[in-house]
Copies of this chain bind each other. A is one copy, B any other.
Amino acid sequence: MEEFINYLLQFGNLNKQQIDLITSKATEIELKKDEYYWEAGKTVRQVGFLTDGVIRVFYYNNKGEEITRYFIEENHLILSGNTVDEVFTPSEYLSAITDCKLVVFSKQNWKDLSATIIGWDSIIQKIITKHHGEKIARRSELVSQDGTERYLDFIEKFPTLVNRVPLSYIASYLGITQSSLSRIRKNIR
């Protein structure tokens, strides 16, 4: 819980009272390895903040292959469709790669925070913008690189993930096969 507050404070100020309110609206939950946080087609009713673990976001392409879109690390907010207003039904899956801990808010509680805390929306908006920027930048570079460059880039950008994420998922994120990734790793050493 503390992690979440500290994270928020990076993007704006909150007084003790506001922090208490946020805390009172939150629930802490755990997710075991390989459990889903979201499933495609099932309505999302929560806003979550990942305090521990790694989550993988993926979908199935028209050949039935799992494509990893990105990874969510500790200290990242998990929002549905960037707005809490509407009912949101994702087309992708979020599943825990490691055991995870999250702080979650029901949509109603989240709306209450938005309505009560001045500046809340602005803080959240900044966070969303930041995450978007990161995701786009990472993806754009991938396309123009060959497998080796992609992997080196991955190591550099996600040093905390390399040893926690199965290589098959990394390969799927990088858009190469697992065997290719394995060969690439051999050549790098």
- State the A residues within 8 Å of B (CB): 61, 65, 67, 69-70, 82-83, 125, 128-129, 132-133, 135-136, 139-145, 172-175
Contact = CB atoms under 8 A, between A and B. Distances in A.
A132 B143 contact: no
Contacts of A175: 143-145
Contact of A132 (B67, B132, B174): B132
Contacts of A139: 136, 139-140, 142-143
A83 B143 contact: no
Contacts of A129: 82-83, 128
A140 B69 contact: yes
Number of copies: 2
B133 A136 contact: no
B82 A133 contact: yes
A25 B141 CA distance: 37
Nearest to A68: B144
The 9 A-B pairs of least Cβ separation, nearest first, read A143-B175, A139-B139, A132-B132, A144-B175, A67-B144, A82-B129, A69-B140, A142-B143, A135-B136
Contacts of A144: 61, 65, 67, 172, 175
A132 B83 CA distance: 13
Contacts of A132: 82, 132, 136
A64 to B, nearest CB: 13
Contacts of A135: 136
A148 B135 CA distance: 24
A15 B89 CA distance: 33
A135 B43 CA distance: 24
Contacts of A61: 141, 144
A143 B174 contact: yes
A145 B174 CA distance: 11
